Amino acid sequence: MMRKREMEVVAAIDIGSNSLRMIIAEITKTKINILEDLNKTAYMGRDTFSFGRINPETIHKICDILSGFSQVMKEYGVKCYWAVSTSGIREAENREYVLEQIRINTGILVEVINNSQERFYIYKALHDRLPNAKEIFNDGALILNVGSGGVEVSVYEGGNLKFTEYLKLGPLRLMEILSDIKGEVLDFPALIGEFIDSKIYILKSYIKQMKIKNFIGLGGNIRIIEKLGIQGEDSGFIDREWFFKLTNRISSMSIQNISEEFDLSQAEAELLLCSVIIFARFLNMSEAKGIYAPKASLRNGLIADMADEKFNTERKKIFKKDILSSVWYIGEKYGIDKYHCKHVEKLAIFIFDHIGKVHRLGEKERTYLRVAAILHDVGKYIDLNRHDEQCYNIIHNEHIIGFSDRDTNITANVAKYHGEQIPSFLDENYRELNYKDKIIVSKLAAILKLAESLDISHKQRINKLQVEVEDKKIYFKINKNQDTLLEEWNFNNYTKFFEEVMGVKPVIINGSAKG
């Protein structure tokens, strides 16, 4: 827990597939001052992507590096740190053993984050570290973050996050996947390109139609690529024509020649080859004049998020908007009734906000409810009769930006129980939740059931609602513009479950809402 001070020295550690990185920074409400930025190599991703497990020698190296990081934190007097791992540890079958050895040998607790969280924190860094970010996002931008294990593709349109997707096409993963046939082809770069094309052809068609004017590149040796340019030192921009010439040049060279030409190790040369091919494939989907290459990293984003949580910054509000914008894209993909879902969301949040002393939940749970309300009908895209089950499956397998696996699981359960079903130990998805999360799911589902029932006709007949808590009852006073017999009947079907969960009985009454 961070102390309530105007300035705090904090640390962020990113345990990636290729290296371990740490930033130590002073944070205030308006400024982040980097004090130290460390980067140490450890190719754990090679173990994970090739064999599925991280070998003991690599674990020892990780622990040695983190022990050094721990010492540096002590020297700066760091009391609050955040250490995360991405695909290199996340996808390892022995990840629990690795994390435990790190804890025992270094004292550092590491959180495994998913792709959606990683993307979210990097975009927070981008918000601060990309010049004219607001104008670029308003004009429309494609962001390609190339990690060792995968690439994240996001599109902003009119300042809002339109959609985001994750593809397992990182350069290190590509080299491991294609290593068996590398020696069997004369034109290995062309093979890499064809393999990438086979995975992105649907996305390519969709993105090209959007005529995107700005392209932002992150990760994937983008800083090395920029330094190879002749347009000025550290310009933060890579010219399109120059980049395609570089891509063609590198693609015509052997790994040995790339290594010698650009003073790289053979491993670095392989990753550079894959990186330029990946960037080229996606840059070709846009109409951008080049690639913006800001110094925005996961560790920068972690520091920004720590500042957001401590000081409740304006940036925190902006990124909550991005989460909801991306959720609406998911809903539209599955053909939801936008007017209905928007009305249910509005009613659910109104109820949540007016019965806080009953449910005792917080801001994070409020976000779960909003997302579940928006997506509660996505299952109808697959199966009208079992749409509750399908709703759970869809949300559980979507990548909601900024959501951890726990966040997604809670939200999927809430959405599943928006209708006739109630949480049950017969359901594996509910049974496997811990005690605290079971309570959260049940409370939010109880609220969502009432909200959805008040628009069961999909006609938005209830235009105003007043909620008052009195003793053991909650009065829902509705102001209607049409006959609401169906809504009232459906509402009463769900009052018993609500009372069982919350300890108070919902009562619906007619009348003019105040205000």
Backbone angles phi, psi at 169, to 5 degrees: -135, 30
Is 50 exceeded by the pLDDT of residue 513?
Answer: no
For residue 64, what are its two tokens? 């040695």
Is 80 exceeded by the pLDDT of residue 327?
Answer: yes
Q: Which amino acid is at 324?
A: L
**Domains 131-295 and 334-510 agree in fold:** no
Q: Do 324 and 248 meet the contact criterion of CB atoms below 8 Å apart?
A: no
Is 50 exceeded by the pLDDT of residue 1?
Answer: no
Please tell me the distance from the alpha carbon of residue 379 to that of residue 382, in angstroms, as a whole number: 6
Look at 55-69, 264-278, 491-505 and tell me which has the smallest mean pLDDT: 264-278
Please tell me the distance from the alpha carbon of residue 162 to that of residue 154, in angstroms, as a whole number: 7
Please tell me the distance from the alpha carbon of residue 323 to that of residue 394, in angstroms, as a whole number: 17
- State the pLDDT at residue 439: 97
Closest CA to 347 of 225, 189, 226, 484: 484
- DSSP-based three-state secondary structure for 205: helix
Taking each helix axis from N to C end, the angle separating 435-453 and 485-493, rounded to the nearest 10 degrees, works out to 160
Q: Could you tell me the CATH superfamily of domain 131-295?
A: Exopolyphosphatase. Domain 2 (3.30.420.150)
* Number of CB atoms found within 10 A of residue 400's CB: 23
- Sequence-distant (≥ 6) Cβ neighbours of residue 82 within 8 angstroms: 10, 11, 12, 13, 111, 302, 305, 306
Please tell me the distance from the alpha carbon of residue 287 to that of residue 141, in angstroms, as a whole number: 10
Please tell me the distance from the alpha carbon of residue 87 to that of residue 15, in angstroms, as a whole number: 9
Backbone angles phi, psi at 185, to 5 degrees: -125, 150
Q: Do 178 and 192 meet the contact criterion of CB atoms below 8 Å apart?
A: yes
184 vs 261 pLDDT, higher one: 261
Mean pLDDT, residues 41-46: 85
Q: How far, in Å, are 341, 491, 497 from residue 421 at the CA level?
A: 19, 14, 10
For residue 477, what are its two tokens? 């006073």
CATH architecture of 334-510: Orthogonal Bundle (1.10)
- State the pLDDT at residue 233: 52
Closest CA to 9 of 24, 19, 30: 24
Q: How far is CA 43 from the centre of its chain?
A: 24
348-378: per-residue pLDDT in tens?
999 999 999 999 999 999 999 999 999 999 9
pTM (2 decimals)? 0.81
323 vs 104 pLDDT, higher one: 104
Look at 70-79, 92-101, 402-411, 463-472 and tell me which has the smallest mean pLDDT: 463-472
Closest CA to 170 of 13, 275, 18, 261: 275
Question: Which residues does residue 83 pair with via DSSP β-bridges, in sequence order?
Answer: 13, 110
Q: What is the mean pLDDT of the chain?
A: 90
Q: Which amino acid is at 254?
A: S
Residue ranges of domains in the chain? 8-114+300-306, 131-295, 334-510
CATH architecture of 8-114+300-306: 2-Layer Sandwich (3.30)
